Amino acid sequence: MNPVEYIEGIKKQFLYYKLLGEKTIDQLPDQKLFWQYNDTSNSIAIITKHLWGNMKSRWTDFLTTDGEKEWRERDTEFENDIKTKEELLRIWNEGWKSLFDALDSIYEHNFDQTVYIRNIEHSITEAINRQLAHYSYHIGQIVFIGKMICDINWQSLSIPKGDSNAYNKKRFATPKHKAHYTDKLIKDE
């Protein structure tokens, strides 16, 4: 595996999920970011706070310290204490910055380094893939909550229902080429 290609591709994957979350947040009235289906479910704000806590812990000093930091207070990540959209977006961006800064610290010369999460040894690819799966899981929750809240006013973040044939026709009209499937999605931003 070419480490440079892997890191560049994985950055695009993470950016794609970041954009899905942001496009969902953008569709919602501010107060709906704090809506919970019931007392045992999470709001978008709570999920964002958990993502932030996880990202800060996992990606701070990624190559030199365990991904579960002693200072992390995971249980408090599920307390509904974010009060404004501005605060939510601040921690959202802070968490993602930690992730992208850590990915920028990985090169061919340190790609084979071992990292630990809760004292369990991971290769760099294992640790990154673990977090990609975790974040996509939670971004999916954010999108689902957003869809429930917006109901018929929801603006699709992918191929709109009923448009698959037209989308495929357009994609297959171009010659085969090498690209990351998120390239066009990210450039449209």
Domain ranges of the chain: 3-156
Model pLDDT for residues 36-91, shown as the tens digit of each residue? 999 999 999 999 999 999 999 999 999 999 999 999 999 999 998 999 999 999 99
Place domain 3-156 in its CATH homologous superfamily: dinb family like domain (1.20.120.450)
**pLDDT of the residue at 114:** 97
**Is the pLDDT assigned to residue 142 strictly greater than 80?**
yes
The CA–CA distances, whole Å, from 20 to 36, 118, 126, 137, 178 equal 20, 29, 23, 12, 23
Work out the burial of residue 124: count CB atoms within 10 Å of its CB; fewer than 13 is exposed, 13-18 middle, 19 or more buried: buried
Which phi and psi angles does 95 have, rounded to 5°? -65, -50
Which distant-in-sequence residues (6+ apart) come within 8 Å of 17 by Cβ? 132, 135, 136, 139
- Rounded to two decimals, the pTM is 0.92
Model pLDDT for residues 87-118, shown as the tens digit of each residue? 999 999 999 999 999 999 999 999 999 999 99
Please name the residue that has the structure tokens 């070419």. Answer: 2
3-state percent helix, strand, coil for the chain, nearest multiple of 5? 60, 5, 35
The overall average pLDDT reported for the chain is 94
Q: Check residues 186 and 62 and name the one with the higher pLDDT.
A: 62
